[in-house]
């Protein structure tokens, strides 16, 4: 199956080509046609399956169709109005047909209408003119039809700021040859620039629940025209205590809408949420692309708590060129590991919920670019972090839940790259290793680390 066979419009197809996507992933193959047909979906899929594109592509395609229809209607209405009123031609003003052609040419060249251009001009472009705002306003008034302000048509709710930014980047990439606009809002930063972006008008909003409710309460976000709702990582939103917020939010949304719910696992609360929010959904279940069984080399070190730091330092010294993500159980633990590594001369960063948005983003950028090779993170902070070439995951603390182990090590060994997962396990935690082996159906090699005999 190719993206061509999924009937994807050329501007999006071109953007996907530039991202290097050749074939749709299983969730994209299954979800895109269902979503294009207007159905709701309940997707059981975790990060790494390509689920973001699975919902982003249909939303972009549908909004593009909608805007093309609107532009056509506006052009028709204006032509009719012009025929009736027969206004005197204004100097230097191209005809409507000419505008549209110019816009199309721009879009084809990937210039003016691409994301990131002036918001006012884009709003006017939506109404079918590429003229500066003052001109179109005048013309709009002349025909009694002000240019339509953009309204939010699609909302993506996601648990963390990192995920919100990551999803926003995907929309930037996939919609770069369309005139659609999107933005992300999340807590932990001042709201001013988010409010300015919202004021300029967006079609797609990506949001964490708390900040969204805040902004709605202040009247900066209106969702009465919403047509598409995505709940991403619903199980994580449940874990983080967002479900009441989400129910409150959803009760305020238009009932006629298309809803997509994605969750890596299916606890009862998510099943009940899906029943109350989805209308006759298609259930789509996929396993992550990175399989722990085939692509990741795994080893467990049985080690005393007191020796873990020393073991970590020696493992990192063995592989100075690899990008290594180190998982810690707690924020305090992450800070303490980070400090000891620094004392041992190993450059690293730590990310967790107590770090500011700026600090987290900087740490992530430096890690992704390879400038910093070691990143220490808690599960929540690392959730959804997408690093293409991550060679090693180290579970400094073994996760309590075997599914979390699978999720953590799925970050390495992606897309055919070789990956390594090393897990530290204290003696009283050995039962967890058994549970992990049962879940993955694979025996994990284990070694005993004893600093005295090393």
Question: What residue ranges bind ligand AMP (CB under 6 A)?
Answer: 21, 24-25, 28, 47-53, 386
Please report how close the Cβ of residue 386 comes to ligand AMP at its closest, in angstroms: 5
Closest CB to ligand AMP among 320 and 370? 370
In angstroms, the CA 347 to CA 367 distance is 11
Give the tokens for residue 123.
Answer: 């709003």
Closest separation in Å from C-beta 41 to ligand AMP: 15
**Bridge partner list, 445:** 299
CB of 235 to ligand AMP, least distance (A): 15
The answer to whether residues 59 and 12 touch, using CB atoms and an 8 Å cutoff, is no
- Residue in the block written with tokens 């080690």: 303
Q: Minimal CA–CA distance to 176: which of 292, 278, 60?
A: 60
- Which structure tokens are listed for 353? 């919920």
Q: Closest approach of Cβ 30 to ligand AMP, in Å?
A: 13
* Residue placing its CB nearer to ligand AMP in the complex, 78 or 232: 232
Q: Which residue's CB is nearer to ligand AMP, number 47 or number 292?
A: 47
**How near is the Cβ of 7 to ligand AMP at its closest, in Å?**
15
User: Rounded to an integer, what distance in angstroms lies between the CA atom of residue 326 and that of residue 315?
Assistant: 11
Shortest distance in whole angstroms from residue 244 CB to ligand AMP: 27
> What is the smallest separation between the CB atom of 208 and ligand AMP, expressed in angstroms?
17
**Helix and strand totals (H; E) in the chain:** 19, 14
* Complex with ligand AMP: residue 228 or 449, whichever CB lies closer: 228
DSSP output for 204-236: EEEE-HHHHHHHHHTTS---TT--EEEE-SHHH
Q: Which is nearer to ligand AMP, 42 or 449 (CB)?
A: 42
Q: Which two tokens stand for residue 225?
A: 């025209």
Q: Are 115 and 176 in contact (CB under 8 A)?
A: yes
Q: What are phi and psi for residue 448, nearest 5 degrees?
A: -100, 125
Query: How many CB atoms sit inside 10 A of residue 222's CB?
Result: 11
Cα 58 to its chain centre, rounded Å, is 15
97 near 71, Cβ under 8 Å? no
Comparing CB distances to ligand AMP, the nearer of 96 and 383 is 383
Count Cβ atoms within 10 A of the Cβ of residue 38 and give its class: 0-12 exposed, 13-18 middle, 19 or more buried. Answer: exposed
Distance, in Å, from the CA atom of 181 to the CA atom of 162, rounded to the nearest integer, reads 20
Q: CB of 144: closest distance to ligand AMP in angstroms?
A: 45
CB of 25 to ligand AMP, least distance (A): 5
- Token pair 């895109």: residue: 32
In the complex with ligand AMP, which residue's Cβ is closer, 262 or 301? Answer: 262
Cα–Cα nearest to 231, from 249, 252, 256? 249
Whose Cβ is closer to ligand AMP: residue 24's or residue 159's?
Answer: 24
35/74 with CB nearer ligand AMP? 35
């Amino acid at each position: 199956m190719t993206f061509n066979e999924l009937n994807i419009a050329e501007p999006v197809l071109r953007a996907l080509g530039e991202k290097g996507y050749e074939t749709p992933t299983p969730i994209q193959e299954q979800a895109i046609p269902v979503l294009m047909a207007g159905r709701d979906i309940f997707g059981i899929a975790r990060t790494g399956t390509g689920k973001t594109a699975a919902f982003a592509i249909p939303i972009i395609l549908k909004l593009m169709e909608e805007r093309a229809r609107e532009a056509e209607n506006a052009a028709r209405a204006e032509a009719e109005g012009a025929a009736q009123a027969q206004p005197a031609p204004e100097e230097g003003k191209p005809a409507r047909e000419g505008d549209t052609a110019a816009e199309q040419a721009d879009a084809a060249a990937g210039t003016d209408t691409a994301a990131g251009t002036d918001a006012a001009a884009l709003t006017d472009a939506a109404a079918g003119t590429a003229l500066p705002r003052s001109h179109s306003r005048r013309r709009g008034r002349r025909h009694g039809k002000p240019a339509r302000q953009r309204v939010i048509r699609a909302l993506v709710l996601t648990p963390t700021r990192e995920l919100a930014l990551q999803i926003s980047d995907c929309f930037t990439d996939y919609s770069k040859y369309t005139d659609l606009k999107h933005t992300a809002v999340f807590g932990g930063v001042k709201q001013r620039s988010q409010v300015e972006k919202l004021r300029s008008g967006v079609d797609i909003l990506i949001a964490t629940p708390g900040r969204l409710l805040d902004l709605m309460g202040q009247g900066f976000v209106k969702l009465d025209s919403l047509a598409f709702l995505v709940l991403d990582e619903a199980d994580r939103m449940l874990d983080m205590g967002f479900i009441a917020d989400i129910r409150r939010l959803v009760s305020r949304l238009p009932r006629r809408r298309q809803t997509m719910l994605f969750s890596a696992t299916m606890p009862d609360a998510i099943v009940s949420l899906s029943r109350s929010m989805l209308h006759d959904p298609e259930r789509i279940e996929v396993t992550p692309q990175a399989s722990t069984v085939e692509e990741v080399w795994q080893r467990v070190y049985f080690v005393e708590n007191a020796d873990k730091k020393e073991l970590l330092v020696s493992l990192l010294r063995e592989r100075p060129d690899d990008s290594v993500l180190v998982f810690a159980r707690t924020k305090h633990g992450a800070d303490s590991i980070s400090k000891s590594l620094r004392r041992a001369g190993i450059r690293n960063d730590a990310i967790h919920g107590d770090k500011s948005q700026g600090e987290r983003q900087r740490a992530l950028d430096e890690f992704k670019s390879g400038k910093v090779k070691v990143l220490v993170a808690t599960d929540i902070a690392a959730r959804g972090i997408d690093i293409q070439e991550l060679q090693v995951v180290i579970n400094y603390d073994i996760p309590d839940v075997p599914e979390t182990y699978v999720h953590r090590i799925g970050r390495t060994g992606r897309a055919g790259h070789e990956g390594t997962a090393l897990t530290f396990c204290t003696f009283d935690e050995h039962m967890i290793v058994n549970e992990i082996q049962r879940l993955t159906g694979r025996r994990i090699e284990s070694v005993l680390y004893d600093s005295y005999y090393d």
